[in-house]
Amino acid sequence: MCEPIFEYQFRLILIGDSTVGKSSILRYFTDGKFEDACDPTVGVDFYARLMEVKPGVRVKLQIWDTAGQERFRSITRSYYRNSVGVMIVYDITKRSTFENLREWYEEARNHIEPHKAIFLVLGHKADKEDARQVTAREGRRFAEMHGLKFFETSAKSGQNIEEAFSQIAKDTYQHLQDGHIRMEDGWDGVKPGFARPRETVHLAEGEAEGGGCC
Note the maximum CA span of the chain: 76
Q: What is the residue-level pLDDT of the chain in tens, covering all 214 positions?
A: 555 699 999 999 999 998 999 999 999 999 998 876 555 554 577 899 999 999 999 999 999 987 644 544 566 667 788 999 999 999 999 999 999 999 999 999 999 988 889 999 999 999 999 999 999 999 999 999 999 999 999 999 999 999 999 999 999 999 999 999 999 998 999 999 977 655 544 434 444 334 444 3
pLDDT of amino acid 35: 73
Sequence ranges of the domains in the chain: 8-192
Do residues 161 and 153 make contact, with C-beta atoms less than 8 angstroms apart? Answer: yes
pLDDT of amino acid 179: 95
pLDDT of amino acid 195: 73
CB atoms within 10 A of CB 192: 11
CA separation for the pair 30, 25 (Å, rounded): 9
Do residues 26 and 35 make contact, with C-beta atoms less than 8 angstroms apart? Answer: no
CA separation for the pair 168, 44 (Å, rounded): 20
- The letter for the amino acid at 103 is E
Model pTM score: 0.84
pLDDT of amino acid 53: 97
pLDDT of amino acid 97: 97
The CATH code that applies to domain 8-192 is 3.40.50.300
Instruction: Name the helix (H) or strand (E) containing 196.
Output: strand 190-197
